[in-house]
Amino acid sequence: MAKLGKRLKKAYEGIDRNKVYTLSEAVSVVKKASKAKFDETIEVSMNLNVDAKKAEQNIRGVIQLPHGTGKTYRVAVFAKGPKAAEAQEAGADIVGAEDLMEKIQAGDMPFDRCIATPDMMGLVGRVGKILGPRGLMPNPKLGTVTMDVAAAVKAVKGGQVEYRTEKAGIVHSGVGKVSFAEKSLIENIAALIDVVTKARPAGVKGTYIKKMSLSSTMGPGVTFTLES
């Protein structure tokens, strides 16, 4: 096991690293262990029994957390005419077409999520090799390729979270801030676990969620379960 730095070693004081906590215990422990001078993000990691290399086992979707994330998302929208105006009125940070494409090609990407109307996807495709690796490529399955750009922008701004399996079948997502009430964090985490559980691929045998852990941005991680 890797040696812990002094800060993290101190944060682990009073934490049983071999214990599997209940969700409520884990939230309480992680909040108390947070010592950073900023409002840390609370993060959940779920190790799933899936093969992420198989398309049918690649879990991906979005969820509107009950209490939001506490994070401010910057949204870019590819749209023209009335749809561009709708996006701006809904609070999009950047709205454009060819000009937005050129910004991205130049490496100017001051946004966290990207939305596009269907007619803009030919243009978006020209920067797909830039957006794709960053997880920013608009996708109809995630509601980010849509004619209802206003609703999509409001959903992102309101705390919508994207979840997806990374390498080794791990789903990792922020679910709130340390400053959130414990009840709010518990409800956000339970909502995420529920949607991932329901997305279980038909071909998966045996235990689906092998392990779950909770941590803050700079704090220690603890293993937890929904069972009491």
Question: Where residue 107 sits, what CATH number does that domain have?
Answer: 3.40.50.790
Extract long-range pairs of 69-73: CB within 8 Å, 24+ residues apart.
Answer: 69/41, 69/159, 69/161, 69/174, 69/175, 69/176, 69/177, 69/188, 70/39, 70/41, 70/159, 70/176, 70/177, 70/179, 70/180, 71/41, 71/159, 71/174, 71/177, 73/112, 73/113, 73/156, 73/157
179: CATH: 3.30.190.20
Question: What pLDDT, in 10s, does the model give residues 44-76?
Answer: 999 999 988 888 898 989 999 999 999 889 999
- Of 112, 137, 157, which closes a domain? 157
Q: Can you give the residue range of the structural domain that contains 102?
A: 75-157
Give the number of domains in the chain: 2
Final residue of a domain: which of 100, 131, 157? 157
Give per-residue pLDDT as tens, 138-163: 999 889 999 999 999 999 998 888 89
Say how many C-beta atoms besides its own lie within 10 A of residue 48's C-beta.
Answer: 25
How sure is the predictor about 1, in pLDDT bands with cuts at 50, 70 and 90?
Answer: very low
**Residue 28 and residue 50 in one domain:** yes
- The answer to whether residue 7 is domain-embedded is no
Reported pTM: 0.81
Query: pLDDT tens for residues 16-52?
Result: 778 999 999 999 999 998 888 999 999 999 999 998 8
Give yes or no for residue 228 having a pLDDT over 60: no
Query: Is 4 inside a domain boundary?
Result: no
